[in-house]
Structure 1
Amino acid sequence: MASAPQANRLPVLFNDLVPLNSNDHAKFRSRTLDGAHFLKNQHAIPLTVEEFPAAQRHYPIIFSAGPDPVPLALMGMNEGVNVFLDDNGKYRQPAYVPAYVRRYPFMLARLRPDADELSLCFDPTCEALGEFEEGDALFDGDQPSETTKNILQFCEDFERAVQGTAFFMEELKKHDLLMDGELKIEHQSLAQPFVYQGFQMVNEEKLRDMRGDELRKLSQNGALPLIHAHLFSLQVMRDLFAQQAADGKVPNLPAEATQTK
């Protein structure tokens, strides 16, 4: 999830990315926003495996399509729909907030594609940062403030969690446990079930058929409990659909599959 700050490769939520430095941002402060407006139209947020136990109670945990899948927390069943936030960008009820969201508008990124070192960067379009009267200073003279040091530590911890997530994904691919996902949901207002596709999930049949020694290895390296958390979380998909229906945000296309992407 660390990437070069290039416009055509910006991660989810980010509109731009610039390195934080004391020359250009000496007077910058970080203030608390009144709601997560930047999250309102996001239906899927990257998740690290460390978060599976807490996230599974609130979000369906799926895996993106393609050869290099990543875990995603679904916040809505359709692109552009987030059922967890109200019109003011505030959580409608208490729920786990993914670390990816808590990290925003900061992230560690390579300033050049060939660079090994990661630099602390931020999204300059975020209203939380700027030369404000209020908020926590990002610099003390030409040195990072305590606030910035804490931000940097959080971002470093996040990158370590990303590495652990990459190991887990390699385990799933090594055992060929992922398959194309499909979920059919019936609703009283629809003549035919809604069919959701465009994601990946663990193949429970293959999991059941694994040899005992392979399952023990998955249990010993911590992958098996994470798989179970993912499978358990899929039941929440129906809750998300029900909330979308109550909000009137379900596209009236019963004959077509709706992509989660």
Structure 2
Amino acid sequence: MATAPQPTGLPILYNDLVPLSSNEHADWKTQTLTGAPFLKNVHAIPVTIDEFVLVQRHYPIIFADAENPVPLALMGLNEGVNVFLDDAGVFNPPVYVPAYIRRYPFMLAQLGPNQGELSLCFDPTAGLVKPDGDGVVLFENGQPTDGTRAILQFCEQFETSAQRTGAFIKELREMDLLMDGEVTITPGENGAAPSVYRGFKMVNEEKLRDLRGDQLRKMNQNGMLPLIMAHLFSLDLMRDIYARQAALGLLPAQAAA
């Protein structure tokens, strides 16, 4: 679950990156979309800690089973399944859309050797930035428009939030609070075999309860404790996603048996 790496080495969704240039893209615009069809086969999206309170109302929050266990919003329990989009790629019913999705196809990337020097780039394979786009005009008289500056600001805010998220993950790991996750879901039908989902990380509640009082007080003061609670409470939503997948006939063979 939520462990498949990108074959390109780029973040989830991104297949290529090119820097936005007033020379190369002087007359280009963004393309307006009514939904997010590029998410149709994506079952997990990175989220930041600044979004946890909103995310946990709609999606389970787990941590990737990887060397860098970033937090993820689950949109399906299996690779290739997203139960939040209709056939047109529209969120149905409407739910909170994580910032990672709203940022796409743009992102800040380091193109040169200097650390910290980031350029505004976009994924040209997405078809969302092009000469005949009907959305935001990107340049006027060779200068970035207000729309482009707003895109840049949003990407900068996302990077700042991602750094805070990295610090949060580092604290969890240093306190040894992450463990291999496992959720067992028993269908309502009599005699139906339970489905067990693994392949992700979650906070170890037993270790959390055993923390010293001063450790818990520090976590409450620095805001970690509410974030952990949001993560733990959100895991119950995995059963809702299971029910959606079952209704759509999208359970894996062993779960549907």
Q: TM-score, normalised by structure 1?
A: 0.92
Find the counterpart in structure 2 of residue 182 from structure 1. Answer: 182
Letter of the 2:212 partner, please give it.
Answer: R
Find the counterpart in structure 1 of residue 57 from structure 2. Answer: 57
Query: Aligned equivalents of 1:254 and 1:54: distance in 2?
Result: 29
Query: Aligned equivalents of 2:19 and 2:181: distance in 1?
Result: 38
Query: Aligned equivalents of 2:15 and 2:221: distance in 1?
Result: 40
Is residue 118 of structure 2 the alignment partner of residue 118 of structure 1?
A: yes
Alignment of 1:1-261 (within 5 A): 8-112=8-112, 115-132=115-132, 134-187=134-187, 188=189, 191-254=192-255
Provide closer, same or farther for how the CA distance between residues 210 and 29 of structure 1 changes in structure 2, counting only shifts above 3 A. Answer: same
- Secondary structure at the counterpart of residue 253 of structure 2: coil
Q: For residue 191 of structure 1, report the CA deviation from its aligned partner.
A: 3.7
Q: For residue 7 of structure 1, report the CA deviation from its aligned partner.
A: 7.6
Question: What stretches of structure 1 of length at least 5 have no aligned partner?
Answer: 1-5, 257-261
Letter of the 2:234 partner, please give it.
Answer: S
Q: For residue 31 of structure 1, report the CA deviation from its aligned partner.
A: 2.6
Q: For residue 30 of structure 1, report the CA deviation from its aligned partner.
A: 1.1
Question: What stretches of structure 2 of length at least 5 have no aligned partner?
Answer: 1-5
Q: For residue 254 of structure 1, report the CA deviation from its aligned partner.
A: 4.1
Q: For residue 133 of structure 1, report the CA deviation from its aligned partner.
A: 6.1
Query: Aligned equivalents of 2:255 and 2:136: distance in 1?
Result: 50
Query: Aligned equivalents of 1:107 and 1:136: distance in 2?
Result: 16
Provide closer, same or farther for how the CA distance between residues 190 and 126 of structure 1 changes in structure 2, counting only shifts above 3 A. Answer: farther
Query: Aligned equivalents of 2:86 and 2:99: distance in 1?
Result: 20
Letter of the 1:226 partner, please give it.
Answer: L
Letter of the 2:194 partner, please give it.
Answer: P
- Secondary structure at the counterpart of residue 179 of structure 1: strand
Letter of the 2:211 partner, please give it.
Answer: M
RMSD value over aligned CA atoms?
Answer: 1.8
Query: Aligned equivalents of 1:245 and 1:111: distance in 2?
Result: 44
Q: For residue 116 of structure 1, report the CA deviation from its aligned partner.
A: 3.1
Q: For residue 255 of structure 1, report the CA deviation from its aligned partner.
A: 10
Find the counterpart in structure 2 of residue 259 from structure 1. Answer: none
Query: Aligned equivalents of 2:67 and 2:123: distance in 1?
Result: 28
Query: Aligned equivalents of 1:216 and 1:90: distance in 2?
Result: 42
Letter of the 1:25 partner, please give it.
Answer: H
Provide closer, same or farther for how the CA distance between residues 87 and 190 of structure 1 changes in structure 2, counting only shifts above 3 A. Answer: farther
Q: For residue 66 of structure 1, report the CA deviation from its aligned partner.
A: 2.5
Aligned residues: 251
Query: Aligned equivalents of 2:152 and 2:116: distance in 1?
Result: 17
Q: Is the 8 A contact 2:30 2:133 kept in 1?
A: no
Q: TM-score, normalised by structure 2?
A: 0.93
Q: Is the 8 A contact 1:190 1:254 kept in 2?
A: no
Provide closer, same or farther for how the CA distance between residues 63 and 214 of structure 1 changes in structure 2, counting only shifts above 3 A. Answer: same
- Residue range with higher mean Cα deviation, 91-100 or 187-196: 187-196
Q: Is the 8 A contact 1:10 1:16 kept in 2?
A: yes
Find the counterpart in structure 2 of residue 3 from structure 1. Answer: none
What are the Cα deviations for residues 68-92 of structure 1, in whole angstroms up to 9, with x where unaligned?
2100000000010000001110011
- Residue range with higher mean Cα deviation, 131-140 or 158-167: 131-140
Q: Is the 8 A contact 1:184 1:193 kept in 2?
A: yes
Query: Aligned equivalents of 2:121 and 2:232: distance in 1?
Result: 35
Q: % of aligned pairs identical?
A: 61
Letter of the 1:223 partner, please give it.
Answer: M
